[in-house]
Structure 1
Amino acid sequence: MTDYQEAHRARELTRRTVVVAGAGGIAAAGLVGGALTTTAFAGDGADTSAEDGAGVCYRLTSETVEGPYYIDADKLRRDITEDREGIPLLLGLKVIDSETCRPIRDAAVDIWHCDAVGVYSGYENQGNGGGGGGPAPTGEPPTGTPTGEPPTGGPGGGGGGHQEPTDDTRYLRGTWRTDRHGHVTFRTVFPGWYRGRCVHIHVKVHVDGEWTDAGYEGGHACHTGQFFFDEESVLASAEVEPYASNAAERTTLSEDTIYDQSGTPGGLLKLRYDRRDIARGVRGSLTVGVDPDATQDGQGAPPQPSTSASASASAEAS
């Protein structure tokens, strides 16, 4: 073997050692039981820092409505799994100023989503996304002409207006700060689905506030959006328990009336997992481009459905 070949082989061995060490470090930081185990994501040494490469800057990530199930940042944590069962999900985000491409540090990032069978913490009596999963009505059906304001609930999660929490559960919710590179990582589980919506995660980005011993105070929300999952990954998850026991009618990504069908700018996550065994764990990543001077609290009118969305899909925004 020549000197050149020896040197090249040494460099390759060094590179592989670094990659393997990086993968082990991520796995070792996982959880046991309902979250990451030391074998989760084995064989995949990809970085989860959500670097999406060129072409991301100068593009705002799509805004959406907040939905009815937001609970203000009262859980400062990166591991939001608690006792929920499901496929481990490591979600890596990078928050940047969409105009300058510079990372936004010390932003407060909120995420929240339903569990594997479509239930939101804080709203367990709503059942599966508020779309019919709760207890059956009792007593005689009402008669006569209805009076008062019509109910705001509906298929798939109760419309876009906020609903007050009905219980003290807070699983699959959390807030954490971006580092100096704009990065933040959460450990959770792959979400399930409920009637009227495709699989998704809600997100808010808050800036100009202050981190104190009590948490994050002041500032404003400069982004309210949702992250989405491609159909291949969702179909794979549906073969795994407890997702397989979710009997709710599923809305596909192309049928969803909140996702704008624009791919990454619309919140479509980049996912990595073992195609032979998704149950081992999934890595999701995305660069989120925001306008830090804007106020996007998700309280406005919901976005118009895309032309490719099914006319039969529910237009609620939970």
Structure 2
Amino acid sequence: MASGAAVTAVGVGGALSVNASAQEAAPRTPASAETCYTLTSELVEGPYYIDADKIRRDITEDQEGIPLTLELKVIDADTCKPLRNAAVDIWHCSATGVYSGYESSGNGGGGPAPTGPPPSGTPTGEPPTGGPGGGGGGHQEPTDDDRFLRGTWHTDRHGHVTFKTVFPGWYQGRAVHIHTKVHVDGTWTDAGYEGGHTCHTGQFFFDEKSVLASAEVAPYSTNTSTRTTLTEDTIYPQNGHTGGLLYLKYDKRNIAKGVRAHLTMGVAPDETHDSSDTQPSPSASPSAS
């Protein structure tokens, strides 16, 4: 697979906790006729990518956790036109920080998933850089055949794609995140998606308030890994929605009911961004939802 993309995440009803900014209500005015949205930041692939062998929208399988609906929109950042029939991959760890296909590596690649009392709201220790843990470091071959919390689906004619999953957990060295790739110019067959190129490799992130709320809910409450905050994370480019920060909605009195996330991703479909060492651009501005 291969391609580039832009994404969006939406929210849930009830007494809602919303992290969307004013930009969600009104699209940013283009600086010129040639520019529609700022490109979504390119981020590292991480060591645990497995090329799409699960063509599906519901990637939950038997994993426990807070239900998460992830709604994305992929557009051409130059023309603002939606990318239809693009293949969008997402993958992330379980509530206890384990990646499918790499369960022998344990929690984020750093040993068994710890259990016990939930972590405090204030993380301790410096987050490690590079190496495994779903951030930097080279690709690692899978160690097992499980594929939970992984999947690929196509965008519709409006550039939209929706996934059903669970709110990700955490592991030492990384803030809570979801990985993504966007592939274009390929062909959908009975076997899946073939050919084309990857135009975007990135990650989605969750604000601290939502992560702390999730930590009160089982099985997240059993994860005692040292937690890295969004501001401490060495991969997140600290540039808001352009860097992959999701818009979230959920019942602030009971996040266990579910979370809706959305984001619009601006990509360069004619470019190729599939390396695992692409670094974020710190100057990008938030993209519209």
The two structures have a TM-score, normalised by structure 2, of 0.80
Contact 1:228–1:268 (8 Å) recurs in 2: yes
Q: Is the 8 A contact 1:130 1:153 kept in 2?
A: no
Counterpart CA distance in 2 for 1:156 and 1:67 is: 8
Q: Partner of 1:264: helix, strand, or coil?
A: helix
- Structure 2 match to 1:177: 154
Residue 221 in structure 1 maps to residue 198 in structure 2: yes
- Structure 2 CA distance for aligned equivalents of residues 251 and 304 of structure 1: 21
**Following the alignment from structure 2 to structure 1, what is the Cα–Cα distance between the partners of residues 135 and 204?**
19
Q: Is the 8 A contact 1:131 1:154 kept in 2?
A: no
Matching of residue 104 in structure 1 with residue 77 in structure 2: no
Within the alignment, does 1:55 sit opposite 2:67 as a pair? no
Distance 1:103 1:235 in 2: 34
CA contact (8 A) 2:42 2:278 kept: no
Q: Which structure has the bigger radius of gyration?
A: 1
Q: Secondary structure at the match of 2:74?
A: strand
Deviations 1:151-197 (A, max 9, x none): x9946358420000000000000000000000000000000000000
State the SS of the aligned residue for 1:239: coil
Aligned-pair distance for 1:302?
3.9
* Identical amino acids, percent of aligned pairs: 73
Question: Which of 197, 203, 206 lines up with 2:174 in the alignment?
Answer: 197
How far is the alpha carbon of 1:123 from its aligned partner? 0.2
Distance across 2 between alignment mates of 1:228 and 1:214: 31
Confirm or deny: 8 A CA contact 2:75 2:82 kept in the other structure: yes
- CA deviation digits over 1:203-225, x for unaligned, max 9? 00000001111111000000000
Aligned position for 2:44: 65
Q: Which residue of 1 aligns with 2:262?
A: 285
Task: Work out whether residues 136 and 276 of structure 2, in 8 Å CA contact, stay in contact via their aligned partners in 1.
Answer: no
- Structure 2 Cα separation of the partners of residues 92 and 72 of structure 1: 21
Counterpart of 1:94 (choices 65, 68, 73) is: 73
Report if the CA contact (8 A) 2:103-2:143 is conserved: yes
CA contact (8 A) 1:63 1:298 kept: no
Structure 2 counterpart SS, 1:166 = coil
CA displacement at 1:301 relative to structure 2: 4.5
SS of alignment partner, residue 265 of structure 2: strand
Indicate whether 1:167 and 2:144 are aligned: yes
Write the distance in 2 (CA, Å) between the matches of 1:85 and 1:108.
26
- C-alpha change, 1:262 and 1:117, in structure 2 (3 Å) is same
> Which segments of structure 1 move beyond 6 Å, counting only runs of 4 or more?
none
Q: Which residue of 2 aligns with 1:208?
A: 185
Contact 2:136 2:277 in 1 (8 A): no
Q: Deviations over 1:95-153 (max 9, x none)?
A: 00001111000000000000000000000001000123279xxxxxxxxxxxxxxxx99
Q: Which residue of 2 aligns with 1:133?
A: 112
Measured in 1, the distance between the counterparts of 2:130 and 2:279 equals 16
SS in 1 for 2:37: coil
* Pairing 1:85–2:64 present: yes
| CA shift digits 1:59-85 (9 cap, x unpaired) | 100001110000001000000000000
1:28-67 CA distances to partner (integer Å, 9 max, x unpaired)? xxxxxxxxxxxx956489xxxxx94402832100001110
Aligned length: 246
AA partner of residue 54 (structure 1):
P
CA RMSD of aligned residues (A): 2.4
Aligned equivalent of 1:138: none
Within the candidate set 251, 255, 258, 2:232 is matched to 255
Aligned with 1:66: secondary structure? coil
Q: Which consecutive unaligned segments of at least 5 residues does structure 1 have?
A: 1-39, 46-50, 136-151, 307-318
CA contact (8 A) 1:258 1:305 kept: no
AA matched with 2:55: L
For the structure 1 residues 305 and 116, does the alpha-carbon distance in structure 2 shift closer, same or farther, using more than 3 Å as the test? farther
Change (3 A) 1:101 1:114: same
CA change 1:305–1:241 in 2 (3 A) is: farther
Answer 1 or 2: higher relative contact order, Cα 8 Å, separation at least 6: 2
